[in-house]
Structure formats: C-alpha cells, structure tokens
Chain A
Amino acid sequence: MAIRLTPSAVKHIQTSLSKRGKGIGLRLGVKTSGCSGLAYKIEYADEIHPEDVQFDSDGVLVVVDKKSLLYLDGTRLDYIREGLSEGFKFENPNVRAQCGCGESFTV
C-alpha cells in the first residue's frame, strides 16, 4: 500500500467522520500553493472520481487522485500533538526541501 495511516490517525479520522455524520472516507492530495509550489490537502471524501485510487487502511477508505499519488507514494500520515496544537502530519520520503512556513514542499 502506497500511503499508510498510523493507528492514531485512523482513530481520529473515524471519530471525525462519525461526528460529521456523512462521508465515505478521507481524501488526500497535493495542490499548488505559495512558497515552494505544492501543499498537502486533507479533506473528507464524499464521492469517488474517475481518476481516483482507493486504499483501505484499517477500515478507513483513503482516496487519492492519480496525479497526487505520484507525490504521496510511500507517505505516512500521523495524528500527533505538538505543544498546544494537535493535527495531522505527513512524513513523505519524497520531500526534499521544506519551505520556512512548513506548509509547502518541493519533491
């Protein structure tokens, strides 16, 4: 499997989905953005599009479009606490440079 979710991430996603009340899973992707050009995207997935690839991670459906998958292959998604904030963190072996604001990256 190309993208892995840690148990902590899986738990948080499941909770979030049930709180939201709808959605078939999680959609991961990359989009163009500020500093270095690309940024991660985490959204609720409501439907599957023709170019999507699907993974099942411990019962959570993860949906990624083909183009994003090129960048996300081998990535691990974790849900952690850093200081006073908590949220998702991507660990991507493809990433080379990281922009100062920590949000976007270049592969």
Chain B
Amino acid sequence: MLLQISEPDNPVPKSAPRRAVGIDLGTTHSLVATVYHGVPTILLDDRGRALLPSVVRYAEQNIIVGQEALEMQSRDPANTIVSVKRFMGRALTDLDDMRQFPYQWLDTLGMVRLKTRTGIKNPIEISAEILRVLKERAEAQLGGVLDGAVITVPAYFDDAQRQATKEAAKLIGLDVLRLLNEPTAAAIAYGLDQGTEGIYAVYDLGGGTFDVSILRLSRGVFEVLATHGDSALGGDDFDHRIFCWILEMAALPPLPAEDVRLLLTLSRRAKESLTDNNSVPIIAQLSNKQNIDLTLTTETFTEITAHLIEKTLTPIKRALRDAKLTKDDIQGVVLVGGATRMPQVRRAVAHFFGQPPLVNLNPDEVVALGAAIQANALVGNRKNDDDWLLLDVTPLSLGIETMGGLVEKIVPRNASIPLTKAQDFTTFKDGQTALAIHVVQGERERVEDCRSLARFELHGIPPMVAGAARIRITFQIDADGLLSVSAREQTTSTEASIVVKPSYGLDEAEVTRMLEESMVYAHDDMKARALAESQIETDQLLELTKHALKEDGDLLSSEEYAAIEKALEELLHCRNSNDVEALRRSLAHTNRVTSEFAGRRMDRSVQKALTGKNVHNVV
C-alpha cells in the first residue's frame, strides 16, 4: 500500500502542558512556584502559607519539616536542623563558629555530617526532606508527577555546593531542569515584569548567602556580565550579632543548647521587629531560671551590624570592575531576600548606587517566581512570542595545582557558560601511564587558599618517553555551572579514563544508606501518588467514553448502552473517594465493559477510511 503526504491532522497535539516548577531552596525559607495559565504563581500550603521554613526535625517516629519543626527548635535543638544550606558541600573546617550551632558534629573528611537520634545525616539528605515537601505540594496541586524543576542556588555557590544541591533533588526523584543562580532568577522575574531594557544590579541578601550580579537585558536576552558574593554572609549573621550583644549586655556564660536556640530565635524576631519599630524589648527566661530583660534600639542595631553591611559593598565594587562598568551605568537595582527589608540595608544600597532600589516584587518570592518562569520555558510550555534567553557566568576562577602548591588559572571568573577549555599536559617519567590533576576554584595564588573541587586521575596513557605524551585535558562547565572533565592522549588518540574523587562528595555506602532510608518515608508518598494518577486516568476515561457514546452510541443495543452508563456512574463515585484499590477495580471493570464497544467503533472507522478509496489504491 503506497502512501501520500497528508496535511497535519491535529494542530499541535499538545498533551496537557508539562508540569514544571521553580524551587527556591533557601537558607531560612523555601518556596515552590509554577506558571499557571501564563502567570507565575507561588504554590501555597494547605494553610495558605507561601514560605516553608527550611527546618528539618528528626523526631522519634518521623521526619517533620517546616513551621512545626521550627517551633520545636528550642526544645530539641540537636535534632532540629536549621539553615542546612550553609553546610552543603562544606567540610567541618569550613565552618567558622561551631558554637552557634547546637548539633552533634562528626569529625569526618569531606562534607560535614551530624548525628541525630535516628542516625547520621548529611546536608544532602536533610535538604532532600525540604525538597520532598515542596515536590508533594506541587504534585498535589498540579494533579500529577512533576516533569522537572528549576532549583535556584546562590550565584557564588561553588561546584561542590551545586553538586550537593543536584544530589538532594536526585535523592527524591526530582529531575533538575537547570540549576539557576538566584540573582539571575530575580532578574528574570523583574525583567519580564517591567519589560525595560538596560543594565541592572541584583543585590541578594538571603539568610546565609550574599550575591550581587550585574545583568544586561536587551532584546529578550538576559546576559550576566559579572557576579560576586560571599557564600557565608546573610541575615543569619545579623541575628548572631544581636545574640552576641545579648550575651555581652547580660554578661552570660556559655549557655546550653536550648538557651542558645531560644536567644537566637528572639534575636531574629527582634531584627524583624526593628524594620517597623524604633526599639524592641528582648525578654526571656533561661533554663536556669535567669531572666533576661533588655531593650534593643535601631541605633544600636545599626551600629553593631555596620561592618556586615560594609562587607556587602566589596563584592559590588568587584562585580562592577569585572563588568567594566561604573555604578552610574546601572539603570536599576533589585533587592532580593528577606534580609533586604532591614532599613539600614536599603539605605546603604540606595546610597551606594545613588538611586532608590526597586522593591515592587516581594523579596521573599521573587527568586521562586523567576525559577518558575525558566522551568516553564525549559519544559516547552511557552508560547512562540515569549522568546527570551538566559546567558549566565561561572562565578569563580578554575585552576589546577602546579609545582610548589601554586594555582595555574585555566578559566577566569565571570566567564560565560557553557564553556570548554583545553589544556595540554605531559608526563615527567619514562613509561608513565597515569596522571593526577587537582582542580580548585578560587582567586588566590596558593592551592591551600582555594576550594578543592576534585582530584582527577587519568589512567591508560600509552607508555612513552618522558615528555613525549601530549595529554589534552578538556574542562567543560555546563549551563548549571558544573564541571566535567575529559582527557585524550593526542599522539595516539587514546581516550584516557578518568576517575573523579570529588573533595566533598559522598561515598557509595553513604549513597546506598540514604536511598534506603528515603524509601521508608517514600512509601506513604507512593500511595498518594498512585491515587492521584488513577484519578487522572479516570477523568480521561470518563471524558472519552462519554464522547464515544455520543458519536457512536447507535452501535449499541439499549441494554449494552445502559450497562456502560452504569459502569461510568460507579467509576465517578469511586473517583471521589480516597480508596486507590476500589478506584483501580472500577477502572478495570469499566474498561472490560467498554471493550466490545471500542472494537465496533474501530471497525466503523476502518470502513469509513476504506470506502473513500479508489480501487486502484488498495493492493
């Protein structure tokens, strides 16, 4: 049978738009958003709240995430993990002041780990619990499994911190469409909201990180010109200053964990209260019954935190310099992050740039909204006229360790991504078949002052005279800002095999343990998901069958018609119950009852198709 080219029958068989979300995995709060009917929208929890406190508590029987966990902080400090983002991709030696965290740290190599009542936990699995809650919230409201998510990270996050974020998503089966830098996400939300071209600065002071990015928006292209920051500076530090002030003013000795948590909580509330008031009382009773009764004024607060604000100005100047711009070139300044609500922050920014910052979008929500917009685009949902592109950069220089503990820079900071850079190496011993490369990130000259990323071992170099081999190592940084490496011996064209030993990664045993533990809690999720999926299948079947009855109902006898209608009624009834099993049975039954009908419909359509044909065309 020979075929002809026909006109496309359905204009864009657009199955329902894909389900994609943007997730702001913040130090203090996390949010999830989606683009709904073309509008970026934050998804609220069942109490109508947008913000999910990034707090995870390991209780006796279960894991509690969010507001409930936050409230138990002071009573169960060792098992209630707060600000886990600060520990992602970090080792014990990286954390400045251990005393401010009441956790049981373990002295291990690589990424930090802590001990809870239900076992050893690492930051990846703790973050995964937060992501899990957001994923479930989204799936419940969007009616099905997510096709992917864009997760935001501070622009200044290094490779280890980014990898850890991606691992956390992987642990709960969430497909990461892109890791998006937080300031860039905010720029997208603002840029598309305002629609004005120009050069913008984004000042993002979150709970634990500070980023500043300079972007140009022109003809629908968001181009990041430079980004700088401090991945250990945020609103939390302002809380900590108040905490220290309290200790000083009340002449307190080192306190037990519960009291530390209590005072830190009060410090945070005081900070927030000072946004709208000139002074705030700090009243508490410690576990030894001692009473604290102090008053903190805005003046004092500004004084004791002035150095923190000053610390944020340096990255701004560096970013401007790298972008080869001056502050006068900046058309608008966007503030992101709850901490930018502090009046002294707003004043400092306005003063530096000589213009009032843009604050129309909610600083807590803007990052999640921007991420949702990008998720929507990546998943193929956007319309043709909604064409825009994001060109981001890598924040830190990439280098290799060379003789004498020095760093040779191979990729400069603020280079546009994706990028590839090749570097040639050779052997220094006759017959050498392996090579070790230590890759670091950072701006300093000495290896010990930079962040160790990973050690790459190359094997399978054909044995040659020393210095004869030409091994080309290609470094690639993808659009997520993640590094991958490949190597090839040029003279013999052999691909060397590479063993990567990430400095802050996890070993296999740990990954297995994490997966097994997450299965236990996933069981309940699976039931909920099975129900949601069956309900969707039911809705589709109901729709299709009703349509079929309308079109070809005449193919059925009146008894057959009635039997089908009865099955549909039952199906509808089961659909609205929460019984997965009953629904599944009803679906199976309905399919059985309608199969004869389906067969007759098919015959009818084949008949229709064949009768229009010329006898010569049918072989």
Point out residues on A near B: beta carbons under 8 Å.
13, 16, 26-27, 33-35, 40-47, 49-50, 80, 82-90, 101-103
Contact B609 A34 (CB under 8 A): yes
Whether A102 touches B4, Cβ cut-off 8 Å, given contacts A34-B609, A35-B606, A50-B380, is no
Report B305 CB to chain A, min CB distance, Å. Answer: 49
Q: Determine whether B576 belongs to the interface, using a CB cutoff of 8 Å to chain A.
A: no
Contact B9 A43 (CB under 8 A): yes
Interface of A is mostly: strand
Q: Determine whether B39 belongs to the interface, using a CB cutoff of 8 Å to chain A.
A: no
The contact of A86 among B2, B13, B18, by CB within 8 Å, is B2
Q: Total interface residues on B, using CB and 8 Å? A: 25
The contact of A13 among B5, B9, B379, by CB within 8 Å, is B5
Whether A33 touches B2, Cβ cut-off 8 Å, given contacts A44-B8, A84-B616, is no
The contact of A43 among B7, B603, B606, B609, by CB within 8 Å, is B7
Report A38 CB to chain B, min CB distance, Å. Answer: 13
Report A31 CB to chain B, min CB distance, Å. Answer: 9
Closest partner residue, chain A, to B619 (CB atom): A102
Interface of B is mostly: loop
- Contact residues of B between 587 and 619, Cβ < 8 Å to A: 602-603, 605-606, 609-610, 616-619
Q: Determine whether B3 belongs to the interface, using a CB cutoff of 8 Å to chain A.
A: yes
Whether A85 touches B616, Cβ cut-off 8 Å, given contacts A33-B606, A34-B606, A102-B1, is yes
When distances are taken between beta carbons in the complex, the residues of chain B under 8 Å from A49 are: 12-14, 380
When distances are taken between beta carbons in the complex, the residues of chain B under 8 Å from A40 are: 3
Docked CA distance A101–B606 (Å): 11
Report B435 CB to chain A, min CB distance, Å. Answer: 37
Docked CA distance A42–B2 (Å): 11
Write the B372-390 contact mask toward A (1 if CB under 8 angstroms, else 0). 0000000110000000000
| 4 additional contacts (CB under 8 A) given A44-B6, A85-B616, A90-B3 | A43-B9, A44-B5, A50-B379, A88-B4
Report A42 CB to chain B, min CB distance, Å. Answer: 5
Whether A88 touches B6, Cβ cut-off 8 Å, given contacts A34-B605, A50-B380, is no
Contact B8 A27 (CB under 8 A): yes
When distances are taken between beta carbons in the complex, the residues of chain B under 8 Å from A84 are: 616
Closest partner residue, chain A, to B147 (CB atom): A50
Docked CA distance A35–B273 (Å): 74
Docked CA distance A42–B254 (Å): 78
When distances are taken between beta carbons in the complex, the residues of chain A under 8 Å from B606 are: 33-35
